[in-house]
Structure 1
């Protein structure tokens, strides 16, 4: 199942994370994102999913990486916030900007810390 996620940083270098409100990963922190709907491009899915989960409007950029978590094939893209108001929505129980140094203090989805550690800052 094709999914997308977004790596979004603010001006202070903090990363946008959502706390999953539903399975899979309920209660864990992850990048915002979700399933690509039929007929939708990855970029369209990133824009829709980020708006639904965080209230923010984004412009997707280049591919940050791909992760396989069967049955999910997750394509994570860098994205830039261009508007909106940060608030948890859709299947997100919470949403927040997290400093890189504090990522290890949160219960993260499997493999997320390693994935983020490999990205340029």
Structure 2
């Protein structure tokens, strides 16, 4: 019997829901997967940094914004697939949420655009899977 291919290891990453006056900070992804789709800022944790430090760094690098981030509010596993459907990479994302502190949204790093968006505008955007629902759920808490 042949064995299924081994799954790639889980890579630790972060996602950040920064809010200001009821609006949420979004980025339009500049790279695959989901290039051109809107999402929350985030990325991989670097060696030696805590997940909170990774969240603060990724938020600033991708958007130029800082936020008062608290404890993690959610976690999920994201799989990136090849064209043939095989799993390319797996990410364990820890979601942080916090109120805007400073900075004006300017796309940087992997982001093509960055802006604050009212919740009512989420339905008009092509977003990464599950992101709009996650934002609404977390903002309702």
TM-score by length of 2: 0.80
Larger Rg: 2
- 1:18-73 deviations in whole A, cap 9, x for unaligned? 00001122100000110001111011101110110001122321222112112011
For the 8 Å contact 1:54–1:95, the answer to whether it is kept is: yes
Q: Return the alpha-carbon distance in structure 1 between the equivalents of residues 119 and 66 of structure 2.
A: 22
For residue 19 of structure 1, the aligned residue among 15, 22, 28 is 28
1:49 aligns with 2:58: yes
Aligned residue-pair number? 120
2:80 is the counterpart of 1:61: no
Gaps of 5+ in 1: none
Which of 18, 24, 37 is residue 8 of structure 1 equivalent to?
18
Q: Alpha carbon RMSD of aligned pairs, Å?
A: 1.2
Question: CA 1:93 to 1:120, structure 2 compared with 1: closer, same or farther past 3 Å?
Answer: closer
- Matches of 1:42 and 1:101 in 2, distance apart? 30
SS at match of 2:20: coil
TM-score in terms of structure 1 length: 0.92
Structure 2: runs of 5+ lacking an equivalent? 1-10, 80-89
Judge conservation of contact 2:105–2:116 (CA < 8 Å) in 1: no
